[in-house]
Structure 1
Amino acid sequence: MTTPSGVARLLLVCHASTRATARAAFPGDEPLDGNGLRRARATAPRIGPGRAVRGTELRCAQTAEALGLRAVPEPLLADCDYGRWRGMTLAEVEAAEPEGLEAWLTDPAAAPHDGEPITGLVGRVADWLATLGPGRTVAVTHAPVVRAAVVHALGAPARAFWRVDVAPLSLVTLTGRGGRWRLSYPA
């Protein structure tokens, strides 16, 4: 697929499933599970050429490799910092810190886990998007990073972050020029 001159075309690929995905847990730096690895290899033909970058975590590196990409690690594509909630399931956090979880899910500037607020994540992803020049880029990253990119591209408020569902191996395409981004279909 050719890209018109001056237009950035970004294919965001959410990493494949991990044990944390299956447990509905706040992830650490875990590997892909067997199903995720198989599904990533099966997805490879849909990816196509382009400059490839990835989040710094093991699950992004393994997904990129399974997709046949030689992706360069990009720190701005790292997962959200979940602070002390890392490794805990959503149910465990809800039982231990119900007010904190409620604040995090309703106030995008809240960071009750002593990690990164959603507003910080959206800002970080917007900063990375601003660095992309013309041409096609494939970015293997995390569901929260993909959500943040979509929220930014649409000019939506950060509280819209929770209204975007991103499953493992989801493909989302954004096209942009001059700092303006559009959600494009098909991926």
Structure 2
Amino acid sequence: MTATSLRLVAHAHTTALRRARFGGSDDGLDEGGLRAALALAQAGRGHLGVDDACVSSPAAAATDTADALGLLPTIEAALADCDYGDWTGRSVEEIAVEQPQALHEWMSEPESAPHGGESVAGVRDRVGAWLDGQRGADRRLTAIAHPLVIRVAVVHALDLPLATYRQVDVEPLAIVRLTGRGARWHLRLSAPRVD
């Protein structure tokens, strides 16, 4: 039976991510994010899959992270961040003041898109289709993406209800490992290797 080993790596910090702004992954890494990614590259060589094939969201934050980690990604459009429509670049605080009902709707109903962009369900469908296409290929793959993309990927891989994506926290530079065997994905948690 063939198996796919997939490392999902959340891109490092951006100014927009630190300020809780919708979108903003096209900003590129901020100074702290770049330092953290470079430090991870030095400390975590055995954990990053430097010999794997690598794909990345088209966002600057993802490609900057891949570069800092010493990876050479192919751009994968299916791993793009959510399209936040009219909310792109705006903070959660701003939307909470100006459109509290719309924000509540978006946070409680994954199928809604009050901002005119993409719903979380739409992101899950897009990312899930990509993820399903990876299973069964006998290879190791590292994918750099936005934390939301990784959250919905985990929910899809484990066949959890979509609403549980809010209970999955993915910090910048987090590494989530999935192994695809047959028709299922398995979440793999492992201790760091000490060389």
Q: TM-score, structure 1 length as denominator?
A: 0.95
Task: Name structure 1 gaps, 5 residues minimum.
Answer: none
Q: What residue is the counterpart of 1:35 in the other structure? A: 32
Q: What residue is the counterpart of 1:98 in the other structure? A: 100
The CA deviation string for residues 17-40 of structure 1, in whole angstroms up to 9 with x for no partner, is 000011111123101001100110
The CA deviation string for residues 101-160 of structure 1, in whole angstroms up to 9 with x for no partner, is 101111110000111111111111110012212211000001011001110111111111
SS state at 1:130 partner: helix
Q: CA deviation at 1:177?
A: 2.0
Q: What residue is the counterpart of 1:25 in the other structure? A: 21
Among residues 130, 138, 145, which one is paired with 1:141 in the alignment?
A: 145
Q: Is the 8 A contact 2:158 2:185 kept in 1?
A: yes
Asked if 1:179 is matched to 2:176, the reply is no
Q: How many residues align?
A: 183
Structure 2 distance, partners of 1:42, 1:144, is 23
The CA deviation string for residues 63-101 of structure 1, in whole angstroms up to 9 with x for no partner, is 000000000000000001111111111100111110111
Q: Is the 8 A contact 2:23 2:82 kept in 1?
A: no
For 1:39, the aligned partner's letter is A
Asked if 1:59 is matched to 2:61, the reply is yes
Moved more, 15-24 or 41-50: 41-50
Structure 2 distance, partners of 1:93, 1:134, is 45
Q: What residue is the counterpart of 2:8 in the other structure? A: 12
Q: What residue is the counterpart of 1:47 in the other structure? A: 48
Structure 1 distance, partners of 2:190, 2:145, is 19
Structure 2 distance, partners of 1:39, 1:126, is 29
Q: TM-score, structure 2 length as denominator?
A: 0.91
Among residues 78, 81, 90, which one is paired with 2:80 in the alignment?
A: 78
Q: Is the 8 A contact 2:178 2:187 kept in 1?
A: yes
SS state at 1:160 partner: helix
Structure 2 distance, partners of 1:179, 1:72, is 25
Q: What residue is the counterpart of 1:130 in the other structure? A: 132
SS state at 1:131 partner: helix
For 2:19, the aligned partner's letter is R
Q: CA deviation at 1:186?
A: 1.6
Q: CA deviation at 1:179?
A: 3.2
Name the Cα RMSD after superposition.
1.1
Q: What residue is the counterpart of 1:121 in the other structure? A: 123
